[in-house]
Structure 1
Amino acid sequence: MKARIRKAPMIAALAVLPLALTGCVGGGADGAGTAAGGDTDDTTLTIWHYENDDSAMGQAWAKAIEIFEAEHPDVTVEVEKQTFEQIQKNAKIVLTGDDVPDVMEYNKGNATAGQLAAQGLLAPLTDAAEQHGWSDKLAGSLATTATYDENGLMGSGDWYGVPNYGEFVGVYYNKEMFAEQGLEVPTTLAELEEVMQAFKDEGVTPLAEAGAEYPMGQLWYELVLAHSDRALVDSYQLFDGDVDFHGPELTAATEQLDEWVEAGYVASDSAGLTAEDMGVSFMKGDYPMMVSGSWWFGRVAAEMEADWGQFNFPGNDLHVGSSGNLWVVPANADSTSLATEFIDTTLRPEVQDVLARTGGLPVAGDATTIEDPRTRELTENFQAILDADGLAFYPDWPVPGYYDVLVSQLQSLINQSKSPAEVLDGMESAYVDGRSDLLGE
């Protein structure tokens, strides 16, 4: 039976739904770590996701649906295309009703999947995770975004979602510009500084950057991770201990970034530049390096004329990145067993290999199946991080509103209007307040 695909007008249905988000979930959860919305419908599986058909994820999900339909010939699969913004903004309201999907793609983290889990809007999947061996396939930092405690904080408690692809921040570099200077790919932070100085000596600003959006914060966090270990990451991201913002790790990173700004490794006008500005300037050949995420890979491959490559941030054991978005099961879903079977299908080698071949960074793929050398390099770089349990998440994740704080404070560093210590003061104040609100301290 062929899947029926349609775009679902989610917003049109919102007017008839109750606005209260707590205590109004019909099916609820039984508290035993298993989906409790019900298995009242074993003939229909409704899937919501927001991936384009030609994207790596869209192609992989299509393969998973094909496999699922072949193994469940009596089940009708209905795929309803939403947009990321629709699901992000309206999921809390939609999921209080009875007309919900059986499985849907949703954003990971405390402020998104964690909130839905804490409000009883998602079914716990711990029993299914044990049954299907998901904890073996998604060990360590990769599984952190899959579990949430009673407060909706990631990293412990029941499983509420399953990722099947990943993302990370690395270094894109212009091979032609490197060759012109006789430079090799750096393997340590010290070598990276030597490469940047060599470009600067030739009048070339080495790093494409953007201070008006996320890139500068991710560069700062890469430097934090260069001076840190997993214990600091757990303290900062998971509140497993206190964070000393003026301790050696964050101080060293912020002072080092300040030195890079003073040395001209980062353009003086980058405080006002966006991520789009950064990416376009790198692809044009204005800068030899860009520190940013795997989400740029497809565009750089399509638009950059000069020869280029990608390497992991040199010397780091920990890297900015995480699992991709999650497959979650609403608490009111009526085909929960079919939903968990579909989720498990997305982790099969046939589906993971589609992600691998199309640059989707599978969590359980085989890089040897990839023919394109750049796609294989990207996947191997990600696998090296997974093998070292090296995903350390994103710097703005810990508390609500922290993204804007990081952008503002690091703009001040680029503009040289604040010292490293003053920047850390601003970061610390917002972090402490946000943590207290989340933990009720």
Structure 2
Amino acid sequence: MRICKSLRIPFIIVVVVVLTAGCFGGNLGGDAKPAAGLEPVTLTFMLPQTHFKEFLKESIRQFEEEQENVKINVQVIPDNQWVNLIKTKVFTNETPDIVRIDKSVMMQIGTDRFVELEESEPWMERVIPAELESKRIDGKAYGLPVSSNSTIGIVYNKKLFSENGLEIPRSIEELWEVCRRFNELGIIPLYASDKDSWTTQTWFTSAAPQVAPEGTWDKLMTNRANWGDIGEFAQVLNDMVALRANGYTNRDYMIATYTSAVDAMSSGSAAMYVSGHFFINDVLKKNADIELGMAPMVYGDRITQIQSQGMFSIFKKSEHAELAKAFLDWFSQAENMDVFTNGWGYTPIFNDQKAALPEWLEILNRDYIRPGKVVPHVDSLLVGVDFMDFWGYQQELVAGDLTANETLQKWDEAYAQQMKNRKVPGWAE
């Protein structure tokens, strides 16, 4: 079933009704009108707060304008509650029609809760193969790919570095010196937004792969090592705390948010922030004239890369699964995906997309991605692990309530219980 621009989704609704009588078939098209008195249909769409960006709101408005009798009811969930709330919705059988979900979270919930998408879906043949494969589970597709491989590192203000004669730090020692210099200039060296725990953990999850001894991740997955046994991990956490303790971040880091980080970087009051593609794009929306770059974490010369996991997926409990599929097809069209991927600063996901990459992303591709100077992010190394507890422990760490060793010990306990609950090989009771 291919949805083209001339097709009215209300006609799909009529066909879905006919489908229940066993009369579905043929190719949809033309200027079909909804049946008289047809009630509007509402699709529910759940996603995390930071994902409900203006460009997505505009796309949803456009969809609703084109499809007269279809509405999208967006359920926006605070980021820190995201994973737990999805699990609660599944447990209580109150799932929406469509959800923005990562492969790792889907694996925690179970693929049996989601609609498996057949290879005959009209958008399948247009997906760049690597972007589809990175989201398959046991060889099967359970969602429309909506995120591409992206990088995480130190986002920096090029002008602040150049006009003050400073080089991008390549080691932790160089970072201390750069921070000291910016501090003297009255510029926030490295912004921290620890009210949002998902931003706090970015330092560790993008730095840990740079320092982990060979074989660490396999040992952690198979119960042959503990997180607290790896001294390099404790050092990375101690460095994160030291940045705050030495006054090299904003003083209000415990109440600062991702949004305030965007404001600080866009205004030029902060020189650096650890984040990903999406952050650069959000800053540029606030200040189109600012010049930003991204450098690797200061523990190596490779950029941290997250293998794309993001999908728009349909819950099996959806009463409008066919209509939800039609929405996914509409969203997959090149002109719609160009808006979406440009909004996030992603590379193309479909092979017929035409949008050009921004300069900063071209530089990343040239210097790191194409030459293969990348290291996988923790989420890509331990797919299916729920790190929400670890995020919270790191929030306690920077608040001064835990030491680095205590943080890792608490995470070891939560991690072990999670692996046992999932019955991962090597973790039997």
TM-score, with normalisation over the residues of structure 1? 0.64
Query: Which residue of 383, 389, 392 maps to 1:401?
Result: 389
2:64 and 2:70 in contact (8 A); partners too: no
The Cα of 1:185 is off from its aligned counterpart by: 3.7
When the two chains are superposed, the root-mean-square deviation of aligned CA atoms in Å is 5.0
1:189-208 to 2 correspondences below 5 Å = 191-200=174-183, 202=185, 204-208=187-191
Q: What is the aligned partner in structure 1 of residue 17 from structure 2?
A: none
DSSP 3-state at the match of 1:206: strand
Task: Specify whether residues 130 and 47 from structure 1 end up closer, same or farther in structure 2 by C-alpha distance, changes over 3 A only.
Answer: same
- Cα distance in 1 for partners of 2:59, 2:217 equals 32
Bigger Cα displacement from structure 2, 395-404 vs 249-258: 395-404
Once the two structures are superposed, residues 275-301 of structure 1 have per-residue CA deviations (whole angstroms, 9 ceiling, x without a partner) of 344443333433211112434344422
Cα–Cα, structure 1 residues 79 and 390, in superposed 2: closer, same or farther, change >3 Å? farther
**Local SS of the residue matching 1:211:** coil
For 1:227, the equivalent position in structure 2 comes to 211
Kept in 2: contact 1:105–1:327 (CA 8 A): yes
| Equivalent residue letter for 1:108 | D
Contact 2:338 2:353 in 1 (8 A): no
User: Quick check: 246-255 or 268-277, which moved more?
Assistant: 268-277
1:130-189 deviations in Å (ceiling 9; x for gaps): 9946896235xx855x344xxxxxxx5643223222465343323332233112444666
Q: Which residue is equivalent to 1:296?
A: 279
Q: Residue 82 of structure 1: which of 74, 90, 95 is its match? A: 74
Residues 349, 390 of structure 1: CA spacing in aligned structure 2 closer, same or farther, 3 A cutoff? Answer: farther
Q: Is the 8 A contact 2:338 2:348 kept in 1?
A: no
8 Å Cα contact 1:129-1:159 kept in structure 2: no
Aligned: 1:377 with 2:360: yes
3-state SS, counterpart of residue 249 of structure 2: coil
Aligned with residue 106 of structure 1, among 87, 91, 100: 100
SS of the residue 2:312 aligns to: strand
Correspondence for 1:212: 195
1:40–1:251 CA distance, 2 compared to 1 (3 A): farther
Measured after TM superposition, the shift of residue 263 of structure 1 is 4.5
* 2:188–2:270 contact (8 Å) kept in structure 1: yes
Residues 356 and 362 in structure 1, CA contact (< 8 A), matched pair in contact too: yes
Greater displacement, 338-347 / 396-405:
338-347
How far residue 358 of structure 1 moved from its aligned partner, in angstroms, is 3.9
1:80 maps to amino acid:
I
Which of 138, 146, 155 lines up with 1:164 in the alignment?
146
Structure 2, gaps ≥5 residues long: 1-6, 12-19, 29-33, 35-40
Q: Could you say which residue in structure 2 is the equivalent of 1:31?
A: none
Structure 2 distance, partners of 1:366, 1:135, is 6
Aligned length: 379
Aligned residue number for residue 438 of structure 1: 422
Deviation at 1:250, TM superposition (A): 1.3
- Secondary structure (helix, strand or coil) at the match of 2:77 reads helix
2:190 touches 2:272 (CA, 8 Å); kept in 1? yes
Distance 1:354 1:399, change over 3 A: closer
Alignment of 1:100-139 (within 5 A): 101=97, 104-111=98-105, 113-114=106-107, 116-118=109-111, 120-125=112-117, 132=124, 137-138=129-130
1:321-332 matches, cutoff 5 A: 321=306, 323=308, 325-331=310-316
Q: Is the 8 A contact 2:192 2:200 kept in 1?
A: yes
Q: Which runs of 5+ in 1 are unaligned?
A: 6-36, 70-74, 149-155
Q: How does 1:17-28 map to 2 (within 5 A)?
A: none
- SS of residue matched to 2:422: helix
Change (3 A) 1:265 1:345: same
CA distance in 2, matches of 1:163, 1:38: 32
Distance 1:344 1:386, change over 3 A: farther
Summarize the Cα distance change of 1:338–1:230 in structure 2 as closer, same or farther, 3 Å threshold.
Answer: farther
Using structure 2 for the length normalisation, give the TM-score: 0.66
Amino acid of the residue matched to residue 137 of structure 1?
Answer: P
Deviation at residue 208 of structure 1 after TM alignment: 0.7
Partner of 2:296: 313
Q: Distance in 1 between matches of 2:10 and 2:369?
A: 36
Distance 2:322 2:301 in 1: 41
Distance across 2 between alignment mates of 1:381 and 1:38: 54
